Amino acid sequence: MTAATEANVNLDAALAQASRLLADAPALAGEQALEILKVVPGEPRALLFLGMSWTARGDLSRALGVLEPLVQAHPRFPAAHHELGVALGRSGRGDEALSALRRAVRLKPDYAKAWLALADHHSATGDLEEADRAYANHIRHSTRDPTLLAAASALCDNRIPEAEARLREHLRRSPTDVAAIRMLAEVAARIGRYEDAETLLSRCLELAPGFKAARQNLAQVLHRANKPAEALVEVDRLLRDEPANPGYLNLKAVVLCRLGDFTPAIAIYDRILRDHPGHANVWLSHGHALKTANELERAIAAYRRSIELDPGFGEAWWSLANLKTVRFDSADVAAMRTQLERDELDPDQRCNLEFALGKALEDEAAYAESFEHYARGNALRLEAIPYSAEETTARLRHARGLYTPAFFADRAGWGCPDRDPIFIVGLPRAGSTLIEQILSSHSQVEGTSELPEIISLTRALRLRADASGASYYHEALAALGRDEVRELGEQYLERTRVHRKLGRPNFIDKMPNNFAHLGLIRLALPNARIIDARRHPMACCFSGYKQHFARGQNFSYGLADLGRYYRDYVELMAHFDAALPGHVHRVVYERMVEDTEGEVRRLLAHCGLPFEPGCLKFFENDRPVRTASSEQVRRPIYREGVEHWRHYESWLDPLRVALGPVLEQYPAVPDFTEAP
């Protein structure tokens, strides 16, 4: 062996020793790196390990003092760019961190660790599409097993059946391969099988408790599966080890907002924005949290900052419009028009801008042009999320046929007897937020907004129905025994407990779409109060038509679809009025406007609550409100909306025709037994 060869061997051994020490003894790793540098000044790997040791010890200034000159001297050293990105991120220089991490993966496209760090930073800035792409590349490049590599490539390309088949075959041979288990969980999450994903990730963490990527996936799955308290536990475990990780912080803020804990969520967004001040998505999320927490001026400023950073960010424009209290000036209108002229504008942002410009022109009383923009926005949305009115009609007709008086008589005494929940159902924009605000101003009632727990129960029942070959979840519900029905009610109460902060005996669930699930609610929670919020069909439906909903209201993007949906809703509620006399209390919005105190007294009496004067001063209640009416219910009762739809009357014939006798007889209800 020559002297040069021996020196190289000794250098490689010394570097390997420094690398091994980094995980458990970073200070010793740093000392080893310094010793190497005395012998081989400027050795890039030794400088890398020295910088990493300072990062691990929390001395970010010294880390950057080593790593920044290193990447300047060795611009094609991907590991140096990766470690610089990590140190910059922990130093609060988020945008520079993103640039460094992008350079790392450009230089080494299979650099799994750099892809993961990049994904975390994209997640923090709200760029979920880029975060998903980076996470997918992390998965793809985390394995060298040919079978897993093929499965990861299929997953990255969204070839879900192929990825699932390859992973299941691999796990039959190697059932404890945690990388494969995690990938199979990703497959399950992609197609909405969150329970399967949760089970797989829990198994993954049993086998490898320190598998942070799997724990992060578990937190995300729990959040999507509407288990925010459980998600928060997992996020906090991750943050104990990496308190500055931007992806973990952003996920925690999102989960806290779901839980209604807006003050700590806002503090996290403030922190993220110190590190990533140039990202419109983060400003948007910050604005949403501030709006809900009733910090209106700060919310407007956040939305405005988002628009400054990205003038074509339609979602930020619509968020301003959706406050209902912001009046756009001529410069705003001109800016929106300019963006809409761009051929390359993203379709989703174009859709948001059309709704926002429609609102701006409505405020200027330019109703004809306003309607044109609302119509364009609705057409774009309907193109993205097609809707079948026939399917909805068939589903609700099936419910009417099943939930007869005999059905409930045969199950008398079933379900969970607790009286805690008050459900407010109906169509969106029918006054449900006003009713919630009135009730939550009572000392015995807490408002918790639109809760997805009933929808979650129906999904679980639908899986049972699918397994038995039934068409609708209602058949699976009808097949349950007394104990299983009671368990459904108890499960609902347990899942909603996390949203109850005030210790009051009653709470409100105002998910409007729950009207379609009254059979389930009545069976599982027979003593729950149910309020039906109803508003003039033209006013209600047109208000929905000009509202760009975040999710879940696909029927609202066509005038004829809206009219048919309203008619189906009225018919179903008439059925329950007959099948469960007196069980549903109806609040007609126009009557609430004309005789507020009388309607409030009747509402409280139905809920078994004594009258309290504070319910008439609902606008003084500063509780967080998440829905589109958040600013309207912070003012005395909103009379202006009763006839506002008439400004657009000449364009609403498709809605009028679809409503038919429901419109002609409002607020009375047609005799649907004579309907064709």
DSSP lists the bridge partners of residue 585 as 531
Mean pLDDT of 624-629: 50
Mean pLDDT of 35-50: 91
Q: Residue 128: pLDDT above 90?
A: no
pLDDT above 90: percentage of residues in the chain: 64
Reduced 3-state DSSP string for 623-667: CCCCCCCCCHHHCCCCCCCCCHHHHHHHHCHHHHHHHCHHHHHCC
Q: Give the confidence band of 480 by pLDDT, cuts at 50, 70, 90.
A: very high
Q: What is the largest CA-CA distance in the chain?
A: 102
Mean pLDDT of 169-182: 86
Q: What is the mean pLDDT of the chain?
A: 89
- Kind of pairing between the strands at 445-447 and 421-426: unpaired
Q: pLDDT for 151-164, tens place per residue? A: 888 887 888 999 89
Among the residue ranges 78-92, 310-324, 553-567, the one predicted with the least confidence is 78-92
Q: Residue 482: pLDDT above 60?
A: yes
- How confident is the model at residue 8, as a pLDDT? 57
- How confident is the model at residue 285, as a pLDDT? 92
- How confident is the model at residue 289, as a pLDDT? 93
Rounded to whole angstroms, the Cα distance separating 218 from 230 reads 9
Question: 417-674 belongs to which homologous superfamily?
Answer: P-loop containing nucleotide triphosphate hydrolases (3.40.50.300)
pTM over 0.85: no
Query: For residues 107 and 76, is the Cβ–Cβ distance under 8 A?
Result: yes
pLDDT above 70: percentage of residues in the chain: 95
Mean pLDDT of 115-140: 78
Q: Residue 619: pLDDT above 60?
A: yes
Q: Give the confidence band of 602 by pLDDT, cuts at 50, 70, 90.
A: very high
Q: Give the confidence band of 191 by pLDDT, cuts at 50, 70, 90.
A: confident
Directed axis angle between helix 44-56 and helix 60-73, to 10°? 160
Q: pLDDT for 261-312, tens place per residue? A: 899 999 999 998 988 888 888 899 999 999 988 899 999 999 999 999 999 9
Q: Residue 28: pLDDT above 70?
A: yes
Rounded to whole angstroms, the Cα distance separating 207 from 211 reads 9
Q: Using only the alpha carbons of the chain, give its radius of gyration.
A: 29
Query: For residues 559 and 545, is the Cβ–Cβ distance under 8 A?
Result: yes
CATH number of 14-190: 1.25.40.10
Domain boundaries, the chain: 14-190, 417-674
Q: pLDDT for 381-401, tens place per residue? A: 999 998 999 999 999 999 999
Mean pLDDT of 626-637: 49
Tokens representing 280? 């419109």
Q: Residue 676: pLDDT above 60?
A: no
- How confident is the model at residue 652, as a pLDDT? 97
